Structure 1
Amino acid sequence: MSITTQAYHPSPPDTPPNAGPSNLHPNIYNNIHDEETPPQTAFSILEPPAHLSAITTHTTHIRPLDPDDTFPDGGTRSWLVVLGSFFLLMASYGMMNSTGVLQNYFATHQLANYSTSAVGWIPGLFTFFGLVLSVQIGPMFDRYGPTGILIAGSCCYVAGLLILAECKLYWHFMLTLGVVMGSGAALLSTAAMAAVPQWFDRRVGLAMGWAMSGAGVGGLELEVFAGLGLYPTYVVMQGFSVSTSVILLSILNVFSTIGRLITGVIADKYGRINTQTGLICLGALAIFTIWLPFGHTLPGLYVFSCVFGLASGSFLSLAPALATLICIPIGGEMLEKVGSRAMVAYLGGVLVVALGMFVMARWASLSYRWRWQAKI
């Protein structure tokens, strides 16, 4: 579309006789001139020169702002995305929550000749790949979308799971469970967690809580994976049966699912850092007041599974990838060398350090002024 515009040249005002510049004092003339011609600034509108009095411009069609181009924050399609993410996380992170059962089985069957710390490198590598590759997969999701990522992730994960049943040697487990299934889990979980925020804003905490609850259902999280990975082994070392260890881990995962659902709503209302700080504090209390003094009794383990499950519901998204690689082998080595109580105290100490970091982060976000009621 072409538009021809004509520049507008206003006619000069009538000049009375003897009112020209030669008859005025220079200061008076300058004042008049300053009033008629304001100083040019970055926002001044300049008259185009005479030879540009007739120009032709071409305009392009600009789509008006669509009021529907916002986060749906609900509706059938939005909640179907949450449901899909739920199942993806149930398969990927759910397996991470269950590595303790696998590790205990490997250590008593195919890999019985290896130490607990050596076997611990297998689920540690699986968790490491499942989280560290998310840094590279995230930009791929932004550019290409989820379809190709989900197809590749499903192929890797399903193939690795089928081959895992035939593994007999140590390097078989490292390659199959650690690398292949870890890479598949990274593809699936990254797409699952990146899709939900595309459909929610005001209720994103609630939606992510429902999606992340799939990780807890799949288990029927440095800190979480060490606890979950070594918890069944710890229970067996206290003299209880393998079936009891599986039941306790299942209870922990059930309450972890409930914790994810509740914390999403709480985070939307009171702030995510506030919520996370409170949960870390609850988890540390559960370790030092329940697990450490009463971890040798069955009632104490049942209570700990419930409380720590609720607290650890939102830890997974914050777990640093390097820590997930080394936490289970370190914990396994501590179990063999210094005993179970030292390992429990070590895990509690890690949570205390994390709590201090979150408190410092909240303080810095408030410009180093502490306000108890600030939502952050």
Structure 2
Amino acid sequence: MSDRDQEKVKVAEPEKVPEKVATSLVATVQADVEAEPVSAQVDEEVQQELETVPDGGREAWLVVLGSSLALFVSAGMVNAYGAFQTYYESTLLLSSSSSSISLIGSLQVFFLFFFGTLTGRMFDAYGTSVMLPVGSVISVFSLMMVSLAQKDQAYQIFLSHGVLFGIGISLLYSPSVAVLGHWFKRRRALAIGLATGGSASGGVIMPIILGQLIPRVGFAWAVRIVAFVVMGCLIVSCLTIRTRLSLSRHMTWRTAIDFGGFKDPRYTLATIAAFLLFYAFFIPYFYIQIYATFQGVQSGIADYLVAILNAMNIPARIIPAIFADRYGTLTVFVPVAAVCSVLLLGLWLPSRNSASIIAFAALYGLFSGGFSSLLPTYIASISPRESLGARIGSVYMVVAVATLVGTPTGGALLKDVDQKHFNALIIFAGALTVAGTVVLAIAGVVESVKLRRLFTRQVSSSQNRAQEQDTADEG
């Protein structure tokens, strides 16, 4: 063999790998092979954890009880603000305008929902073990501060009842709703309906407690007694509410708001509808008692209108939820919102006597109560479970803005307590509710697979006809 041929053979031979390197490569490959099934097993366990939902049992229903009591305190006190508004306007804050006093109640709702964006993400990361106790302490402390407020010192009520109490209940609300997604899937709407029924119960009981206690023990001690009731409820909530799914234990400001949901048109439309509906939602709760007094309704009846509204909220949170589990959330949500539109414009607007005003309060409470349970139920149905808290919180951030400006806008429209200005207030609320109903209906169209397929088929056939026409014209 020539030297040239030997050189070719030498080049063609594979390069010899050192023994240590070869051993290292083999070990790496073996580690990868062994790690792959372990990783797959972990993913399988996580997926199984997400898919296996108790949908009942002692622990799950105890969580519903705790959530119901937390919402009794948080949203329940917000729903009961109409009783505080009447007392503030008539006795404690005589020098303040109706719009300014309603802003205090709006601040509660604003913080309740706006901080829901952050607290929802905190729930996804850390659960309820810290937020619930901290929110409980802040809520009770703020009510004690309300009881110390002095006459015509609006800033004291503003800071204690508006800001501090709003921050406290914001740490309670979103986690108490989102945790139900850990324990329920098929019966999620029912569980949320039962829990949010607690907020309606709070709106019934708290105004009655205040109405009975203020003449007997004075405003200060009446609020302190309410604070003790709140403390008892929240102790039970802290002991019964538990998370079930694995927590990320990691949170950054960048991920505090989940904007990924807005890529889904259903989520975007639901958020727009929520903004419109909740812009008008609390107007009857804040102004129905003042309207009844203006129309000459006896004080013994007018004082209980807020309680009637909230009492009818209790079945309104549960009954629509039962139908939503069976027929779909939007199938129930759209008719409920449509009926509220009719009640605002067709019943409250022309009402001039006790019978019609009571009928409106009862019927509006019966149907509008579904908003609070059906909105988070729908968001939960279209959101990944691991980001459920953040998605619900992001929607409530938008709702917060609506509620912050909603009732003060109503107060600005009610410059004078006369029929003309009340008509403007009612028409404003009705128009917003109609608009929200329309947007919800559009979300239903987008969600419908059959309609999407029909629309796609029609668009495709139109494009084909257009192409055929262009081809014919070119020929």
TM class by shorter chain equals 0.7 to 0.9
Counterpart in 1 of 2:445?
A: 363
Partner of 2:428: 346
Q: Is the 8 A contact 2:292 2:354 kept in 1?
A: no
> Which residue of structure 2 aligns with residue 191 of structure 1?
175
Partner of 1:179: 163
Give the Cα–Cα distance (whole angstroms) in 1 for the partners of residues 282 and 200 of structure 2.
13
Q: Which moved more, 1:319-328 or 1:119-128?
A: 319-328
Report the equivalent of 1:233.
290
- Alpha-carbon distance in 2 for matches of 1:115, 1:208: 37
Contact in 2 for aligned 1:252/1:305 (Cα 8 Å) = yes
* Residue 127 of structure 2: aligned partner: 145
Q: Which string of whole-angstrom CA distances, capped at 9 and with x for unpartnered residues, describes residues 24-47 of structure 1?
A: xxxxxxxxxxxxxxxxxxxxxxxx
CA–CA separation in structure 2 for the residues paired with 1:235 and 1:340:
11
1:190-215 alpha-carbon deviations (Å, 9 max, x no partner): 12101111100000000000000001
By how many angstroms is 1:55 displaced? Answer: 4.0
Letter in 1 for 2:117: V
Cα deviation 1:290-339 (Å, max 9, x = unaligned): 21122x21111121122111111122365711111111111122223442
Per the alignment, residue 132 of structure 1 pairs with 114
Deviation of the 1:97 alpha carbon: 0.6
Q: Is 1:266 aligned to 2:345, yes or no? A: no
Match of 2:93, SS state, is coil
User: Relative to structure 2, which stretch is displaced further, 281-290 or 93-102?
Assistant: 281-290
Deviating more after overlay: 114-123 vs 131-140: 114-123
User: Per the alignment, in what secondary structure is the counterpart of residue 182 of structure 1?
Assistant: helix
Per the alignment, in what secondary structure is the counterpart of residue 185 of structure 2?
A: coil
Aligned to 2:413: 334
Q: CA RMSD in A?
A: 2.2
Q: C-alpha separation between the residues in 1 aligned to 2:293 and 2:104?
A: 20
Residues in 2 aligned to 1:97 and 1:111: alpha-carbon distance in whole angstroms:
20
Counterpart of 1:314, as a letter, is G
TM-score by length of 2: 0.64
1:113 positional shift: 1.2
- Pick from 297, 312, 333: which aligns with 2:353? 297
- Three-state SS of the structure 2 residue aligned to 1:222 is helix
Instruction: Say if 1:256 and 1:309, in contact at 8 Å, map to a contact too.
Output: yes
- How far off its partner does 1:368 sit? 9.0
Which residue identity lines up with residue 80 of structure 1 in the other structure? L
| Residues 344 and 426 in structure 2, CA contact (< 8 A), matched pair in contact too | yes
SS at match of 2:53: coil
- Asked if 1:90 corresponds to 2:72, the answer is yes
Taking the aligned partners of 1:211 and 1:268, their CA distance within structure 2 comes to: 15
Q: Is 1:312 equivalent to 2:294 in the alignment?
A: no
Over 3 Å counting, the alpha-carbon distance change for 1:108 and 1:370 in structure 2 is: farther
Alignment-mate amino acid for residue 293 of structure 1: P
Distance 1:368 1:96, change over 3 A: farther
**Matches of 1:65 and 1:196, distance apart in 2:** 21
Partner of 2:307: 250
Q: What's the offset of the Cα at 1:354?
A: 0.6
Kept in 1: contact 2:344–2:430 (CA 8 A): yes
Distance 1:130 1:143, change over 3 A: same
* Alignment partners' CA distance in 2, 1:316 and 1:261: 11
**Matched residue count:** 319
CA distance in 1, matches of 2:195, 2:325: 15
1:172/1:149 Cα in 2 relative to 1: closer, same or farther (>3 Å)?
same
Q: How does 1:205-224 map to 2 (within 5 A)?
A: 205-220=189-204, 222-224=279-281
Q: Which has the higher contact order (CA 8 A, sep 6+)?
A: 2
Change beyond 3 A, Cα 1:65–1:114: closer
Cα distance in 1, alignment partners of residues 434 and 95 from structure 2: 35
1:245, 1:125 → 2: CA distance? 25
Tell me if structure 2 keeps the 8 A contact 1:224–1:316: no
Q: Distance in 1 between matches of 2:341 and 2:452?
A: 22
One-letter amino acid matched to 1:72: P
Residues 147, 242 of structure 1: CA spacing in aligned structure 2 closer, same or farther, 3 A cutoff? farther
Which of 100, 105, 116 is equivalent to 1:118? 100
Structure index of larger Rg: 1
| Higher helix proportion (structure 1 or 2) | 2
- How far is 1:138 from its partner? 0.8
The residue aligned with 2:84 is 102
Q: Distance between the aligned counterparts of 1:141 and 1:239, measured in 2?
A: 48
Aligned-partner Cα distance in 2 for 1:114–1:65: 59
User: Whole-Å Cα distance in 2 between the matches of residues 243 and 187 of structure 1?
Assistant: 36
Measure how far apart 1:370 and its partner are: 8.0
- Tell me how far apart the structure 2 counterparts of residues 254 and 202 of structure 1 sit (CA, whole Å): 27
CA distance in 1, matches of 2:448, 2:63: 34
Is the contact made by 1:232 and 1:242 (CA closer than 8 Å) also made in structure 2?
Answer: no
Shift of the alpha carbon at 1:243? 3.6
8 Å CA contact 2:297–2:353 kept in 1: the answer is no
Unaligned runs of 5+ in 1: 1-50, 372-376
Q: Which amino acid aligns with 2:286?
A: G
Report the Cα offset of residue 76 of structure 1.
Answer: 0.5
